[in-house]
């Protein structure tokens, strides 16, 4: 396991380009459980396939990002590789283990910052819930790209997660701003602290790392009129607003929007949301 500790950011960078350059150079850490799973699988390289590896790493948003960005920047391909399994098939089992056998972990990176580690874990948990909601909505809509919508929701907050890992003081400052003012929008807090919105940074990083065009589109609020994009954005919104319970004042609007997307009554939509959340 890589024990090198990258330099942390303690102040905002001057431009979006500077932020992109910083995160391009910084390691993408993974969950400790993911690193341990890969270390265990590498001892049985001849007996595992792409599906086995995908089951072990596919729930980790930053490992998913790390794999897709690696394939996007090093491989020559004629079509986009949109899922973890497809990326593993393209890369090959041996090359995967050679490329990802020594990984920086979130837990090691933030071992001296339990406050930031808690913040990162909260984002990961929210991402897992968003992914479940996105998959549930997609199944209800019989969407053939359900797996990609699940992945898009899992990845939706990766820039925030990277901020917790590499600039914990700034991430905490944003969190405190929002805690002090419940009406403050996330984008406003990010602009005040970072000078950029994380959504803009994330879009720029996805394009820089040549992530699949569908994933980039699904992450872009500018395409919110498309049903697949609404599928992902509503899943993320519901996960965020219900993170502390189902009494958030924003949830009735979310439920109404989900009902419209899925052509259900509001009561049926709320019932579906609760069922998905209990899975």
Q: In this predicted structure, what is the pLDDT of residue 264?
A: 96
Q: Is 242 found in the same domain as 127?
A: yes
Q: State the chain's mean pLDDT as an integer.
A: 92
For 233-255, how does the pLDDT look when each residue is reduced to its tens digit (9 = 90+)?
A: 999 999 999 988 898 888 999 99
CA–CA distance, 79 with 41 (Å, rounded to integer): 28
Q: Is 58 found in the same domain as 124?
A: no
Q: What is the mean pLDDT of residues 141-146?
A: 95
Q: In this predicted structure, what is the pLDDT of residue 203?
A: 96
Q: Which of 80, 106, 132 is the last residue before a domain boundary?
A: 106
Q: Is 147 found in the same domain as 225?
A: yes
Q: Which residue has the tokens 């380009």?
A: 17
CA–CA distance, 130 with 149 (Å, rounded to integer): 10
Q: Is 75 found in the same domain as 157?
A: no
CA–CA distance, 195 with 175 (Å, rounded to integer): 15
Confidence band, pLDDT 50/70/90 cuts, at residue 22: very high
Q: Which of 106, 122, 138 is the last residue before a domain boundary?
A: 106
Residue 12 domain flag: no
Which residue segment(s) compose the domain that 73 sits in?
26-106
CA–CA distance, 273 with 15 (Å, rounded to integer): 39
State the pTM of this model.
0.91
User: Among the listed ranges 33-47, 77-91, 122-136, 236-250, which one has the minimum average pLDDT value?
Assistant: 77-91
Are 200 and 190 contacting, i.e. CB atoms less than 8 angstroms apart?
no
**In this prediction, what percent of the chain has a pLDDT beyond 70?**
96
Residue 152 domain flag: yes
pLDDT at 2 > cutoff 80: no
Q: Which of 90, 106, 122 is the last residue before a domain boundary?
A: 106
For 190-235, how does the pLDDT look when each residue is reduced to its tens digit (9 = 90+)?
A: 999 999 999 999 999 999 999 999 999 999 888 888 999 999 999 9
């Amino acid at each position: 396991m890589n024990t090198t500790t990258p330099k942390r950011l303690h102040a905002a960078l001057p431009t979006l380009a500077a932020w992109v350059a910083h995160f391009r150079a910084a390691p993408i850490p993974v969950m400790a459980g993911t690193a341990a799973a890969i270390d265990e699988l590498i001892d049985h390289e001849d007996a595992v396939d792409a599906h086995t590896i995908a089951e072990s790493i596919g729930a980790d948003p930053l490992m998913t990002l790390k794999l897709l960005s690696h394939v996007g920047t090093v491989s020559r391909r004629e079509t986009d590789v949109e899922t973890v399994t497809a990326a593993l098939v393209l890369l090959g089992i041996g090359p995967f283990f050679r490329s990802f056998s020594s990984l920086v972990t979130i837990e090691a990176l933030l071992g001296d910052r339990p406050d930031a580690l808690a913040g990162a874990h909260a984002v990961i948990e929210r991402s897992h819930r968003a992914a479940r909601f996105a998959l549930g909505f997609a199944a209800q809509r019989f969407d053939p790209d359900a797996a990609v919508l699940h992945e898009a929701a899992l990845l939706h907050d990766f820039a925030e997660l990277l901020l917790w890992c590499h600039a914990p003081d700034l991430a905490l400052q944003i969190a405190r701003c929002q805690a002090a003012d419940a009406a403050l929008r996330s984008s406003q807090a990010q602009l005040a602290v970072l000078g950029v919105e994380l959504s803009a940074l994330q879009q720029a990083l996805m394009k820089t790392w040549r992530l699949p065009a569908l994933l980039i589109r699904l992450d872009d609020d500018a395409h919110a009129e498309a049903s697949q994009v609404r599928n992902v954005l509503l899943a993320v919104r519901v996960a965020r607003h219900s993170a502390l319970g189902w009494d958030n004042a924003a949830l009735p609007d979310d439920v109404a929007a989900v009902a419209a997307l899925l052509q259900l009554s509001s009561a049926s939509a709320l019932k579906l949301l609760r069922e998905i959340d209990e899975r």
